[in-house]
């Protein structure tokens, strides 16, 4: 409830525009009332003052002022009920029209539940890996923990010191006096010298060459030598293909930006219909931030992610969206948080935003049309102050009902994605 109340206080540009329109409208109405009285008084009309007062009453800008913020408040509340927590109406307005949508892979497009598919190397390395990975929240660490669960007692007996997590790279630390480095090939090899690849065991090189392209390669180095490698896979979400197709059909350009191996990202991207140039791998947190900043120079950018690696890019995007299961740093910078797993909620969010803008346009159109007709009737003398006083709240009531019954995030208005 607190989040919904805070959301209502963040004003969208369309709300600010409506407020400016209301101010201009008041000035026009005051001028019209003065002219009505002046002209009719010169014509010795007995109703000059009544007509001017009726004009002021019937054109009260309450409906115009309510048209936009009320529709947004109703939409934000309904979205929250459907698992989409929106921090402000400004994000809704930006999502109403298609733009560039940048999505992280692990945990966003995929389930983030990683399984160890391939292990290349001696078994004595496995307890060292498990001991160092125990303190990590990364999905790849979960894959190692599940695969090596039978070694939990052995790993717990190991002494881990100076453990350090490198965002977008991996882990390193000392385990029983051995320096262990685990992570992406670039991260592991970067600290081992130029001849690290040539010193790699031939069995590991052959195993890596035969590894499936859809698996994420992880290198394990002990005391400066790559002694093992692993291939971990992450299952694509069931609703990913249908959701991405729906977003593209609506006009969104979709880009996948991941810290995983470029080969893995391209393979997953190809299976989901991403252009090869729009499936980008080996992106560090800094790379993601720079990529979003570059895209912003040519249009609106929406960033969707779940990890610490995505936090800076999410904060930099015009709209940042954190997905279910995301890290706290990611969610704190996001404008919107999707509490339901999967990408179907993202489709509902964009459709709901578009519907909300439709309700706003309808409300504004009605309030302006009502005021023009009411003003014309007052000027020609059809309305007296009493009738005008009865009609004035009717316009506001109509806007309230239009916002409440408008199809923004109502279940019937949103397409299901399966």
Residues labelled as active-site residues: 104
Tally the C-alpha atoms within 13 A of residue 214's C-alpha that lie toward its C-beta: 13
d(CA 107, CA 307): 8
d(CA 408, CA 74): 8
- DSSP-based three-state secondary structure for 339: coil
At a CB cut-off of 8 Å and minimum separation 6, what does 397 contact? none
List the beta bridge partners of residue 114: 234
d(CA 12, CA 95): 12
Q: What is the Cα 313 distance to its own chain's centre?
A: 11
DSSP sequence for 4-26:
HHHHHHS--HHHHHHHHHHHHHH
| Neighbour count for residue 178 (Cβ, 10 Å) | 12
**Alpha helix segments (H runs only) across 231-327:** 240-249, 262-271, 285-296, 311-316
Contact 3, 85 (CB under 8 A): yes
């Amino acid at each position: 409830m607190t989040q919904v109340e805070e959301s209502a206080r963040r004003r969208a540009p369309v709300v600010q525009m409506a407020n400016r329109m209301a101010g201009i409208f008041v000035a026009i109405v005051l001028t019209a009332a003065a002219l009505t009285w002046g002209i009719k008084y010169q014509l010795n009309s007995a109703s000059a003052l009544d007509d001017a007062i009726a004009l002021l009453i019937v054109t009260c800008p309450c409906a115009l002022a309510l048209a936009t913020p009320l529709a947004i408040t109703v939409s934000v509340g309904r979205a929250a009920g459907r698992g989409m927590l929106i921090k402000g109406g400004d994000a809704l307005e930006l999502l109403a029209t298609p733009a560039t949508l940048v999505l992280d892979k692990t945990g966003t497009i995929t389930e983030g539940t990683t399984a160890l598919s391939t292990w290349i190397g001696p078994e004595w390395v496995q307890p060292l890996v498990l001991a160092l990975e125990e303190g990590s929240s990364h999905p790849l660490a979960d894959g190692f923990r599940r695969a090596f669960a039978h070694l939990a007692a052995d790993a717990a007996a190991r002494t881990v010191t100076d453990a350090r997590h490198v965002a977008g790279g991996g882990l390193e630390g000392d385990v029983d006096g051995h320096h262990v480095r685990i992570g992406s090939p670039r991260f592991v090899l970067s600290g081992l010298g130029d001849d690290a690849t040539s010193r790699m065991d031939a069995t590991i090189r052959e195993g890596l060459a035969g590894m499936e392209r859809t698996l994420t390669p992880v290198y394990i180095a002990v005391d400066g030598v790559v002694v093992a490698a692993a291939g971990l896979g992450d299952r694509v979400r069931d609703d990913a293909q249908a959701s991405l197709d729906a977003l593209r059909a609506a006009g969104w350009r979709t880009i996948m930006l991941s810290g995983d191996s470029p080969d893995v990202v391209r393979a997953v991207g190809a299976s989901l219909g991403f252009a090869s140039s729009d499936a980008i791998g080996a992106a560090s947190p800094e790379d993601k931030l720079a990529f979003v900043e570059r895209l912003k120079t040519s249009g609106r950018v929406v960033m969707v992610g779940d990890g610490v690696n995505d936090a800076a890019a999410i904060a930099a995007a015009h709209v940042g969206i954190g997905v279910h299961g995301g890290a706290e740093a990611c969610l704190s910078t996001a404008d919107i948080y999707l509490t339901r797993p999967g990408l179907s909620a993202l489709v509902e969010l964009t459709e709901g935003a578009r519907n909300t803008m439709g309700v706003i346009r309808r409300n504004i159109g009605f309030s302006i049309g009502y005021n023009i007709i009411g003003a014309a009737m007052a000027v020609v003398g059809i309305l007296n102050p009493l009738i005008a006083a009865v009609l004035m709240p009717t316009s506001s009531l109509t806007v309230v009902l239009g916002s409440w019954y408008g199809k923004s995030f109502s279940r019937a208005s949103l397409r299901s994605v399966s």
